Chain A
Amino acid sequence: MPDLGKYAFEVLSSYGVTFVMLLLITWISVRRARKVRAALEEVESRKVRNG
């Protein structure tokens, strides 16, 4: 851990906020991707079954 001196709070919170935001947008994107993919597969399999 490097010595951040008196600016430790600013530097650490900047990094913290960035990680939280990036993880959040990634997580939301991935979750919605899974959900939509599952929904599409469900609908497509139904179509195949019904002819």
Chain B
Amino acid sequence: MSLWEYANPVKFISTTDKVLPWIWVLAAGCLATGLIWGFFFTPDDFRMGSTVKIIYIHVPSALMAINAWLMMLVASLIWIVRRHHVSALAARAAAPVGAVMTVIALVTGAFWGQPMWGTWWEWDPRLTSFLILFLFYLGYIALWEAIENDDTAADLTSILCLVGSVFAILSRYAVNFWNQGLHQGATFSLDREENISDVFWYPAVISMLGFALLFVALVFLRTQTEIRARRTRALLAREGQA
């Protein structure tokens, strides 16, 4: 029993079919708990007022926006090294979800920035980096859509993902250099010093878990879809030849 077993598309579909309902339920449960708790049962921050409630969607979506890209990077590497089709398709499946997470992070950030900084948009390093990340997602998705041959598309997009990752990190440093920011530093860290109190911490963590599970569920579902779509195309092509 090894992880690579799931590189077999049939095995992948049957396994994910079994676990998917559970993940959906868990994701919905975590999201509902985290967000309802956060929205209804947490106090306002003395400095930020009720806008602090945005944190329960802003931070998880920002986290997933980056993690989605990391997942795509890992999946691309696996495709390049071990040529597992499921891996390439999972990267493809994750990209639109990651792009949506990026948009959520940007939009909620704008709604948060408006009352706090007095502006919807600021060319702050973090904000700018996220905008650039969004452009990378768009390019990656567009390249997948543009190329007809599946394997060629998988090869090209995975190389783009690698090169893009390097440039995304470069951009992050460049942007930091270019403008010092308004954005506060990381609110959440594992050792969690005094910068956030328990009342905000627990609902936020549950919400993060919810976002992560929702991401996993969507990626599983979309990967299944890609596998089936490819099989359909292959069968149709065979019919066409016969």
A and B touch in their complex, CB below 8 angstroms: yes
Binding site for B on A (CB under 8 A): 1-8, 10-11, 13-15, 17-18, 21-22, 24-26, 29-30, 32-33, 36-37, 39-40, 43-44, 46-47
Distance in angstroms between the alpha carbons of A30 and B108 in the assembled complex: 25
B54 within 8 A of A: yes
Interface of A is mostly: helix
In the complex, which of the residues A2, A3, A25 contacts B218, with contact meaning CB atoms closer than 8 Å?
A25
Tell me the count of chain B residues lying within 8 A, CB to CB, of chain A.
Answer: 36
Residues of A close to B97: CB separation below 8 A: 25, 29
Which of B132-140, B169-177, B191-199, B225-233 sits within the interface? B225-233
In the complex, which of the residues A25, A29, A36, A47 contacts B229, with contact meaning CB atoms closer than 8 Å?
A36
- Do A10 and B114 touch (CB < 8 A)? yes
Could you write out 17 A-B pairs with CB less than 8 Å apart?
A7-B49, A7-B115, A10-B51, A10-B115, A11-B53, A11-B111, A14-B54, A15-B39, A17-B108, A18-B104, A21-B100, A21-B104, A25-B96, A25-B218, A32-B222, A40-B232, A47-B239
Q: A15-B39, A25-B100, A33-B222 are in contact. Are A4 and B232 (CB under 8 A)?
A: no
- Do A36 and B51 touch (CB < 8 A)? no
Interface of B is mostly: helix
Q: A10-B112, A33-B221 are in contact. Are A47 and B100 (CB under 8 A)?
A: no
Q: A25-B100, A37-B228 are in contact. Are A8 and B50 (CB under 8 A)?
A: yes
- Do A22 and B231 touch (CB < 8 A)? no
Distance in angstroms between the alpha carbons of A32 and B236 in the assembled complex: 18
Q: A22-B104, A25-B96, A37-B225 are in contact. List 5 more A-B contacts (CB 8 A).
A: A3-B50, A4-B50, A10-B115, A29-B225, A39-B232
Residues of A close to B235: CB separation below 8 A: 40, 43-44, 47
In the complex, which of the residues A3, A26, A40 contacts B228, with contact meaning CB atoms closer than 8 Å?
A40
Residues of A close to B222: CB separation below 8 A: 29, 32-33
- Do B108 and A2 touch (CB < 8 A)? no
Across the interface, name the chain A residue whose C-beta is closest to B54.
Answer: A14
Looking at the assembled complex, report how far the CB atom of A10 sits from the nearest CB atom of chain B, in whole angstroms. Answer: 5
Residues of A close to B49: CB separation below 8 A: 5-7
